[in-house]
A and B are shown apart, each in its own frame.
Chain A
């Protein structure tokens, strides 16, 4: 048993104050902090809620889930043809649910990544939030972040991109679009270990 005093939950500390993974330079940190302060001051709950309607996030808050949903909308295929699109598959909510099985450290990293995604324009003297940009501008923003961005921006883009695409294409409604005929064995319902953690959000 440890005699050390209890520490505050990692997620409760300022997300930019921890780990090299999220370390930014002093100027960048100040710019992001200013952006975050302005964002908090500016509210916008309804705006974010509209990006992922009727969602009940488990780990993320409404703003974070909205930003993540906006990101998924640009990264995953648009609905059309055989593609259901990320909103129908509820990719952002799948990611949120997955986070509930991970450590406070990993959850805090993802939250901080979403914060940087939304307010990272401040690092380039472009204060408009990601979710306030139009579609083509969002694509350009993501391209700059993933290709030309500094290490931290590339990490954020790369890791969120991975989550979005993985949780889109694990859904069997997407398999027709890529001509994947799926597993050979049926999915047992409920799965032997845990229905809640993997539970389909549409059923």
Chain B
């Protein structure tokens, strides 16, 4: 974001008193959903104010220093430590201006037609079919400069993944990337791009929204949506001291004709619950799916250097859908990718401790990894504790456990075919597999709570969209059934997980939502 738009941004260190604002539209959040809606509404001449709980970090301020500890603290919603109640799911979500797009891998996928059709068929979602979304997908892809990475830019792990998949007979394909020519393949995508090469919201919709007249307050924690007479009329918020993450004593009240909550798939439902949004269907805060990610490691006799290069320039869609035979699970239900992990995160995930773990880490440059994004069948929920803090409840159910075990087998297959001398399972026993005939051992590795942790980067479902107010939270215009003027523009509205990276679909849905809001506002 250049100086031309920075005068439209307010950060907490410049807030010297409590404030009151009156606008057409207030948007909670600044990630993929918020930024797109903000842009469309501002371009149409509406006065738009976006409120982001996290801080504003920019390459030109040299904020993105590529250190794992600094960057978890700055850009992750839970500073890297938020988990489900049982510790089995590690929640990965945005906590800064730009939301999760600041840490995402830049994979760009359209929601598959089968998933959009299912949402229409089973949930009564209208106006979000592939035909409806196509022009929006095209616009998003143009804005993000979405294109496959050329083969010369595949890092060692991506090349090994291709070798292993081809030898195993697993089809693979390039993954479309949201990058421009400033990307230098540094490998620090998850720590926030220091080069503005990754096309996060910081370099795409957000500056465009600000240039169109929208304003943005960072370090601004929305505590609740204000509801009067069944209609949303604004929000109440407080400013946070970025150095301590504690309230700085100054408050904000915004009165607005329209309230859009786009705080992300993990945070939107808790905000609505804290706001006492009527919940006649009982579905608010339920149906949480989040693409748990099982991963395996492979020890190679050559350098892989898992922390350099574009993370997932290739992948396999072959197993995206579950297959069943007369009701019995056969295989599939996940995407398969080469993995990327910076060193300290790798250390935390590799099994063992003491001398055994030390030996593994001393071989870290030779460690490769494959990861799967599980398309959940089960689901979780969120509730609030006595202090109003969210507690996310989720555990790996029996159906998803079968999917995880199958995904682990495919990961091991790829790694072994790629030449890994040994596959390392991150279970408490530190199971090792060195031959394909040992894959059946993955049928019994310990997946219990407390034994294996799954990164969960793609939340969906806790404000699910649908025609019937008795089974859903928002209607197809993204408006909450029970509260007029309150809209949700983030993956919370997806009735299920998308089965691919959701960012492009979030943006396309937000274009649809903004179009409808403008029509209603006149």
Binding site for B on A (CB under 8 A): 7, 10, 19-21, 74-78, 83, 98, 101-106, 139, 142, 146-147, 149, 151-155, 157-159, 161-162, 165-170, 175, 177-180, 183-188, 191-198
Complex partner residue of B389 from A78, A103, A187, CB under 8 angstroms: A103
Q: Does B440 contact A (CB under 8 A)?
A: no
A192 to B71, CA, bound (A): 12
Q: Does B204 contact A (CB under 8 A)?
A: no
Q: A101-B73, A194-B73 are in contact. List 15 more A-B contacts (CB 8 A).
A: A7-B387, A76-B353, A78-B358, A105-B385, A155-B450, A159-B83, A166-B80, A166-B347, A167-B344, A168-B347, A183-B66, A192-B63, A193-B55, A193-B73, A194-B244
Contact flag A183-B67 (CB < 8 Å), given A169-B343, A178-B343: yes
Task: Tell me, rounded to whole Å, the shortest Cβ–Cβ distance linking A99 to chain B.
Answer: 9
The secondary-structure label for the interface of chain A is helix
Pairwise interchain contact B85-A166, C-beta atoms closer than 8 A: no
Residues of the A chain whose Cβ atoms lie less than 8 Å from the Cβ of B429: 147
A108 to B44, CA, bound (A): 48
Task: Tell me, rounded to whole Å, the shortest Cβ–Cβ distance linking B335 to chain A.
Answer: 25
Pairwise interchain contact A166-B348, C-beta atoms closer than 8 A: yes
Q: Does B188 contact A (CB under 8 A)?
A: yes
Pairwise interchain contact B451-A74, C-beta atoms closer than 8 A: no
Task: Tell me, rounded to whole Å, the shortest Cβ–Cβ distance linking A67 to chain B.
Answer: 16
Contact pattern, B 453-465, Cβ under 8 Å of A = 1, otherwise 0: 1000000000000
Pairwise interchain contact B428-A103, C-beta atoms closer than 8 A: no
List the 3 closest A-B pairs by CB distance, nearest first.
A154-B450, A183-B66, A194-B243
Residues of the B chain whose Cβ atoms lie less than 8 Å from the Cβ of A193: 55, 57, 63, 73-74, 242-243
Q: Does B79 contact A (CB under 8 A)?
A: yes
Pairwise interchain contact A166-B70, C-beta atoms closer than 8 A: no
Pairwise interchain contact A180-B86, C-beta atoms closer than 8 A: no
Residues of the A chain whose Cβ atoms lie less than 8 Å from the Cβ of B173: none
Residues of the B chain whose Cβ atoms lie less than 8 Å from the Cβ of A155: 86-87, 449-450
Closest chain A residue to B66, Cβ basis: A183
Q: Does B153 contact A (CB under 8 A)?
A: no
Task: Tell me, rounded to whole Å, the shortest Cβ–Cβ distance linking A5 to chain B.
Answer: 11
Task: Tell me, rounded to whole Å, the shortest Cβ–Cβ distance linking B102 to chain A.
Answer: 14
A36 to B281, CA, bound (A): 45
Q: Does B380 contact A (CB under 8 A)?
A: no
Pairwise interchain contact A154-B451, C-beta atoms closer than 8 A: yes
Pairwise interchain contact B428-A185, C-beta atoms closer than 8 A: no
Pairwise interchain contact B361-A169, C-beta atoms closer than 8 A: yes
Some 6 contacts from A to B, beta carbons below 8 A apart, are A20-B86, A101-B73, A170-B69, A187-B70, A193-B242, A197-B243
A198 to B73, CA, bound (A): 8
Residues of the B chain whose Cβ atoms lie less than 8 Å from the Cβ of A83: 358
A151 to B451, CA, bound (A): 8
Closest chain B residue to A196, Cβ basis: B243
Residues of the B chain whose Cβ atoms lie less than 8 Å from the Cβ of A10: 386-387
Residues of the B chain whose Cβ atoms lie less than 8 Å from the Cβ of A165: 344, 347-348, 353, 357
Residues of the A chain whose Cβ atoms lie less than 8 Å from the Cβ of B358: 77-78, 83
Q: Does B371 contact A (CB under 8 A)?
A: no
Pairwise interchain contact B65-A183, C-beta atoms closer than 8 A: yes
Q: Does B125 contact A (CB under 8 A)?
A: no
Pairwise interchain contact A169-B347, C-beta atoms closer than 8 A: yes
Residues of the A chain whose Cβ atoms lie less than 8 Å from the Cβ of B57: 192-193
Contact flag A101-B79 (CB < 8 Å), given A147-B429, A154-B450, A180-B364: yes
Q: Does B307 contact A (CB under 8 A)?
A: yes
Residues of the A chain whose Cβ atoms lie less than 8 Å from the Cβ of B453: 158, 162
Pairwise interchain contact B362-A159, C-beta atoms closer than 8 A: no
Residues of the B chain whose Cβ atoms lie less than 8 Å from the Cβ of A77: 354-355, 357-358, 361
A152 to B87, CA, bound (A): 10
Contact flag A178-B365 (CB < 8 Å), given A98-B79, A104-B387, A158-B87: yes
